[in-house]
Amino acid sequence: MSREEVGLEEALEELERIVSELEGGKMSLERSLELYERGMRLVRLCNLRLDSAQRRIECLTGEVPSDLL
């Protein structure tokens, strides 16, 4: 997994945490901005993953039939 690629499950879990920490609103300005930037970055990475609709199909016994690609 490249550095720019993010696991959807982990990303969404982290986003939930960021949202609830931000909505709790008990942190310094630096921390708020940091969380905001991290959250926006994760959203962007998730969207990038959803956009890269390129199918990644493999077959354990050989070639994938061409009609499946």
Partner 1 sequence: MSQIFTVTNLNERIKARLENDPRLHDLWAQGEVSNFVHHRSGHMYFTLKDQDSQISCVLFKGQAGGVETEVRNGMNVLLFGDVAVYRPQGRVQLVARAIKRDSGLGFRFMQFEALKKRLEEEGLFDQEQKRPLPPYPERIGIVTSLHGAALRDVLRTIGSYPARIIISPAKVQGEGAEESIVSALFALQGRTDLIIICRGGGSAEDLWCFNSEVVARAVYSCDSPVISAVGHETDVTITDFAADVRAATPTAAAKIAVPDVADLRIKLQQIQVRIARALWTDLERKEERMEYLQRSLSPARMYSLTADLRQRLDHLSDRLDSAMARELKERRSRLDGIRGRLAAVSPQATLQRGYALVRSQRGGLVMAWEDVRPGEELVLVLGRGGLRCRVMECIEEREGWE
Using CB under 8 A, list all residues that contact partner 1.
Answer: 7-9, 12, 15-16, 18-19, 22-23, 25, 27, 29, 32-33, 35-36, 39-40, 43, 46-47, 49-50, 52-53, 55-61, 64-65, 67-68
Shortest spacing between CB 16 and partner 1, in angstroms: 8
Contact 18, 38 (CB under 8 A): yes
Judged by beta carbon, residue 4 or residue 7, the one nearer partner 1 is 7
Q: Which of 63, 61, 2, 6 is nearest to 39 (CA)?
A: 6
Q: Return d(Cα 13, Cα 44) in angstroms, integer.
A: 15
